Structure 1
């Protein structure tokens, strides 16, 4: 893969797609681990519309070696940069019958270890003893997200839709999107492919209409250190 070309596209548009990052065999190994986990833990969220595992790499440490193959390491090193580390991970499974619909939004919060009053950090939310906060813009602007696709994903089973270049406009409220100037793009990704996205890129997804699964591993990366009294809750080199 020509890494520099992908990097340019991501920096310009706020997202990019690279297929064939994982072989079918590698994807099937990951799925095998996922199908054999104890799903009764608190960090697992189960409903008819969605199954999700927060702090995914912490909860299922044996999956790390399967996910960080040579291709992913190359992407992180050459597209993001040498200093980037994992700061958050989630596994999503939109089941075949899911009506899960996600309105346009930016990913504006980071996961941290505790709540402390700091200038430019806020608002705060707490879920299941996990703390999330909106950090200064500079931190968000320098983050990257990798979404690993374990199924073929297109507009019929809830592929992400994005507003290209919206990542370069700071905090962008979805209700202010001017569709006379903005465009929407559907991000179809093959099984074993990845979508890379800047968290400030406006994105959402439609309901599944073709009865096919959509399983995605979502991993966020940053090269920033937080103020001394605060830690990334899932930091992992």
Structure 2
């Protein structure tokens, strides 16, 4: 699926767009899965706005913006379990992370037409810091994504800066790192953007008349352990490729009440 030069690009730049990981039939199945999750959330009265608050945009603008976001989508619909184990995904992950790959968590992000919320520039590290920084995100595009509908933006090579100070764990100082400072990463349905959790990224408002639907999977090396208990999901540690070399660390520590 990818070549040596692509792996070298990822290591140097901190991100990699891989074209055509999923075909249109698979994309359509995931679109239906997202639509059904949103419908069931509304029926369960759990349809909340996941847009970030803050001072990166004027308050009156933030209040008008909407983001549909839910975690653990592979528990809501089997289409996402199939996606995170997809042969093309695993092929890429083994080259970017190594032979032993674990899932950390999954989520969906939907920016509705004309009012889809922005994500200010940030690193994912503060949410789930790990020892070896193998953690990466695989953002699966289910719609054509460009600057008009708020495509992902990254700052190339920013993963080499290490861990940066964030505002309340959420995002970087927007005056130093405005959304416009990121390089746009336009993509087509079925493409996947892989980026390290230290790579600075974000996205602008969806100003178009189209949806911008993404599913995001976070993966890590099985020998890369968390240094803080800041994020827990039930699917954490699921082996996607290879084996877990650590027999006593096959599940996170948790208590069932």
TM-score between the two structures when normalised by the length of structure 1: 0.77
Deviation of residue 57 (structure 1)? 1.7
Cα 1:91/1:178, change in 2 over 3 Å = closer
CA distance in structure 1 between the partners assigned to 2:150 and 2:73 by the alignment: 21
Matches within 5 A, 1:161-176: 161-173=153-165, 174-175=172-173
For 1:81, the equivalent position in structure 2 comes to: 98
**Which residue is 1:135 aligned to?**
129
Tell me how far 1:219 sits from its aligned partner. Answer: 0.8
- Aligned residue pairs total 209
How much has 1:93 moved relative to structure 2? 0.7
User: Which has the larger displacement, 60-69 or 72-81?
Assistant: 60-69
- Whole-Å Cα distance in 2 between the matches of residues 93 and 230 of structure 1? 24
The alpha carbon displacement at 1:66 in A equals 4.0
- Aligned residue for 1:70? 87
Give 1:90 shift.
Answer: 0.8
Structure 1, unaligned stretches of length 5 or more?
Answer: 111-133
CA contact 1:147–1:217 (8 Å) conserved in 2: yes
The yes-or-no answer on 1:155 pairing with 2:154 is: no
Secondary structure in 1 matching 2:41: coil
The runs of 5 or more residues in structure 2 that have no matched partner are 51-64, 166-171, 240-257
**Native 8 Å contact 2:149 2:207 kept in 1:** yes
Distance 2:123 2:66 in 1: 21
Is the Cα contact below 8 Å between 2:129 and 2:226 reproduced in 1?
A: no
Which residue of structure 2 aligns with residue 60 of structure 1? 77
Q: Following the alignment from structure 1 to structure 2, what is the Cα–Cα distance between the partners of residues 185 and 231?
A: 28
- Rounded to whole Å, the distance in 2 between the matches of 1:225 and 1:219 is 17
Query: What root-mean-square deviation, in Å, do the aligned CA atoms of Structure 1 and Structure 2 show?
Result: 2.8
Instruction: Give 3-state SS (helix, strand or coil) of 1:200's partner.
Output: coil
Bigger strand fraction: 1
Q: Is the 8 A contact 2:30 2:79 kept in 1?
A: no
SS in 1 for 2:218: strand
